[in-house]
Amino acid sequence: MREILGRRRRLRLRRKEGAARLDAALTCATVWQWPVLPGAGTAPAAPHGERGQGCACPEPDCAVPGAHPFEPGLLAATTDERMVRWWWTGRPAAPVILATGGRAPCAVSLPAVAGARALGALDALGMRLGPVVATPTRWSLLVAPYTLERLGELLYAKDWVPSSLRFHGEGGYIVLPPSAIGTGQVRWERPPAPGPSPAAPAGPVSSRRRSWGRAPVVPQAPWLPDVEAVLDALVEASTGAPGGGSRLAY
């Protein structure tokens, strides 16, 4: 009986987690207009007590287990509600992958230890930050879209940029909460903070406006800082990380 109850609890938990991932994907795609797609996901638990989980893709030595596109590929990322629902209805455990660049956010990621140090430095400066994604090994700061040309100009001005600092722009991607990947759970270190804005009037005044005497509101996508505003702190924090910032920790 205890075993049956345990299976039921695990089944309820999986259903709850699947619903949370679908909700997250739908919010990104339909509310914020950020293109998403399902990630590869993880394979069954590693044998012999090995740490972490493997990737569901065919690559036995996958560098980012579970946390990358596989089928479909990155070019399939979309904001279409029907496609998003179809994907996560069929694969409720799939990680939520954000295709960065274009009109979507870009990101800068760095090892978790350096990420915590960088956030402390930026907070001390009174810097307003956007969403920050945390995995057990890396933190990613979401920033406003940038072009490769603009990023190249900023990096050229630096004496040195640690190789552990990674840039996710056009053609890139990051994994979003509440996904589970090979290294563990993905969470918000700094959650998105969208704010309401008045909806533009169109046509007859709605019954809701007549009832409440105010314009309806629509949600905004989360605010994002410019990459230039945070780059110095990220470079300095990565340089001071173990190994001098030369290790590319995933």
Q: State the total domains in the chain.
A: 1
pLDDT of 153 reads: 95
pLDDT of 43 reads: 86
pLDDT tens column, 194-226: 644 434 344 443 333 333 444 444 467 899 999
Q: Is 227 helix (H, G, I), strand (E, B) or coil?
A: helix
C-alpha span between 69 and 82 (Å, rounded)? 19
Residue 55, domain member (yes or no): no
Give the DSSP letter string of 11-63: HHHHHHHHHHHHHHHHIIIIIS---EEE---EEEEPSTT-SSEEESSS-TT-S
User: Strand 173-176's sheet: what is its strand order?
Assistant: 36-38, 96-99, 173-176
Residue 206, domain member (yes or no): no
What pTM, to 2 d.p., does this model score? 0.80
pLDDT of 239 reads: 82
Provide the domain limits for residue 20: 10-41+63-198+215-239
Show the tokens assigned to 14: 């999986």
Residue 47, domain member (yes or no): no
What single DSSP character describes residue 67? S
CB distance 67 to 136 below 8 Å: no
Residue 122, domain member (yes or no): yes
pLDDT of 58 reads: 92
Residue 113, domain member (yes or no): yes
Residue 49, domain member (yes or no): no
Residue 77, domain member (yes or no): yes
Residue 219, domain member (yes or no): yes
pLDDT of 198 reads: 39
pLDDT of 188 reads: 97
User: Which segments in the chain show pLDDT lower than 70?
Assistant: 1-18, 45-52, 194-219, 240-250
